[in-house]
A = this chain, B = another copy of it.
Amino acid sequence: MSSHLAPHLLVKKYGGTSVGSIERIEALADRLVRETQNGPPPIIVVSAMSGETNRLIALAEKIDPDYRGPAYDMLIASGEQVAISLLSMALKKRNINAQPMLGHQVGIRTDSTFAKARIQTIDVEPLIKLIANGIIPVVAGFQGVDADDNITTLGRGGSDTTAVALAAALKAHLKPQGGDCDCEIFTDVPAVFTADPRLVQKARELKTISSEEMMEMAALGSKVLHIRCVEIGAKHDVKIHLRSTFEERTGTWIVPGTAEQGPHNMQLNIEEPVVSAVTHDANTAVFTLFPVPAGPQFLASLFQNLAAKGVVVDIITSSETAEGTRLSFSVTKEDIPLSKQVLKTALTANIKTELAEGRAKISVVGVGMRNHPGVAARFFSVLATQNVSVQLVTTSEIKISAVIDGNDLERAAKALHTEFELDA
């Protein structure tokens, strides 16, 4: 890409393990020296040293587990501040002119939702100025600044969000000159797989995946990338290259829209597969309430109460029986105590509550499903052959999900992976 005359930049994001110790930071600096010799000018984004954010959160929770506000965000933002300072020093030692930049110095403006702020605008001028002077910006991920100059933090996956948002802003800035900006995200896994390789040994690496599929996978339990950063990439047409922190080889390109629009040097999927990946979430629980009042009123107020407490309800089904309406919904394991609390106060005495723990959600995802009918039939027939009973189901244009018993998860995942021709 460096052969282009038009300005091409590259945002490179490294997670906490990449800067987890001084030795790791030195190794990362060595790698950056090698990579920046041939590549486009980089903008580096880093997370806090691994364990540091948790250490800071533990300090805060010792004082007040419920407090969220400016002081909390200022506290946990210090982790990234330490990491960018140390990496900049390691680069300077290697005669690379690097400058650490905090959220407010980059001009990453957010709203004031502390602990999970959303980026509103980015002023790329400070970055462009540094790059024009041959200086590599080392940007603190996960943080921004609100209209009152308070430090804010972006919540889970925040550093990935910072990286993709920076790439989006830089791309918009460079586009009129014919330039571009991609985003590399270095993680503990070398690529996006057709299934979790720990569960399905025959899982393959994907060379490319559409951001639409990636968003579904993230929503369905894939931990590889947070849905927010994929969303921003999709919305602003930023190509994301997910790569290994530990190996210097290509990983998976997450490309806006469908796979055919993918970038240079990318293996195109001439014959688009029906299903791109099998995804799962092992931490699912199902509440079943019976009998509940018929009609939307009861449901609306129940789910409002759950949302107010921060419980994310995933799949909801309700069925009418002769004895009354039966309502089931799934939540993640972590939300069980909160859900119980809400149900205790929201339900009248005559409604019985059952909790099924140890459940798992298994899904198949693929933009190809749009053009290939009969995927649902194949999906359920595989589960039937494997003797896996299905408790809840939900489908969209490009995915099918089922909540099943956790003990059946591995068997179901392997069988679906084979059925949809994903095996290596």
Complex: how many Å from CA A72 to CA B82?
9
Residues of chain B within 8 A of A62, CB atoms compared:
22
Chain B: which residue is nearest A93 at the CB level? B64
Smallest CB separation, A240 vs chain B (Å): 28
| Contact (Cβ within 8 A) A92 B78 | no
A415 near B: Cβ within 8 Å?
no
Chain B: which residue is nearest A71 at the CB level? B88
Complex: how many Å from CA A102 to CA B70?
12
A99 near B: Cβ within 8 Å?
yes
A85 near B: Cβ within 8 Å?
yes
Complex: how many Å from CA A77 to CA B62?
23
Residues of chain B within 8 A of A67, CB atoms compared:
89, 92-93
| Contact (Cβ within 8 A) A70 B100 | yes
Smallest CB separation, A88 vs chain B (Å): 4
Task: Indicate whether A86 sits within 8 Å of B63 (C-beta atoms), given known contacts A71-B92, A78-B78, A78-B81.
Answer: yes
| Contact (Cβ within 8 A) A25 B75 | no
Interface flags, A235-271, vs B, CB<8A=1, else 0: 0000000000000000000000000000000000000
Complex: how many Å from CA A327 to CA B164?
65
| Contact (Cβ within 8 A) B25 A63 | yes
Residues of A in contact, count (CB < 8 Å): 36
Contact residue among B64, B71, B100, B104 (Cβ-Cβ distance under 8 Å from A100): B71
A60 near B: Cβ within 8 Å?
yes
| Contact (Cβ within 8 A) B60 A89 | yes
Most chain B CB inside 10 Å of its own CB: which residue of A70, A89, A93: A89
Residues of chain B within 8 A of A84, CB atoms compared:
71, 74
Smallest CB separation, A382 vs chain B (Å): 52
- Rank and list the top 6 A-B pairs by shortest CB-CB distance, nearest first: A75-B85, A71-B88, A78-B78, A22-B62, A71-B85, A74-B85
A59 near B: Cβ within 8 Å?
yes
Chain A 33-92 interface residues, beta-carbon cutoff 8 Å to B: 56, 59-60, 62-64, 67, 69-72, 74-75, 77-78, 81-82, 84-86, 88-90, 92
A149 near B: Cβ within 8 Å?
yes
Smallest CB separation, A141 vs chain B (Å): 15
Complex: how many Å from CA A98 to CA B89?
34
Most chain B CB inside 10 Å of its own CB: which residue of A63, A72, A75: A63
Complex: how many Å from CA A60 to CA B100?
14
Smallest CB separation, A48 vs chain B (Å): 10
Chain B: which residue is nearest A149 at the CB level? B105
Complex: how many Å from CA A290 to CA B92?
43
Complex: how many Å from CA A25 to CA B64?
12
| Contact (Cβ within 8 A) A75 B70 | no
Interface flags, A202-238, vs B, CB<8A=1, else 0: 0000000000000000000000000000000000000
Contact residue among B71, B81, B92, B105 (Cβ-Cβ distance under 8 Å from A69): B92
Complex: how many Å from CA A71 to CA B102?
11
A26 near B: Cβ within 8 Å?
yes
Q: 17 A-B Cβ contacts within 8 A?
A: A22-B62, A25-B63, A60-B86, A60-B89, A63-B90, A63-B93, A64-B93, A67-B89, A67-B93, A70-B88, A71-B85, A71-B92, A71-B99, A74-B84, A74-B102, A75-B89, A104-B104
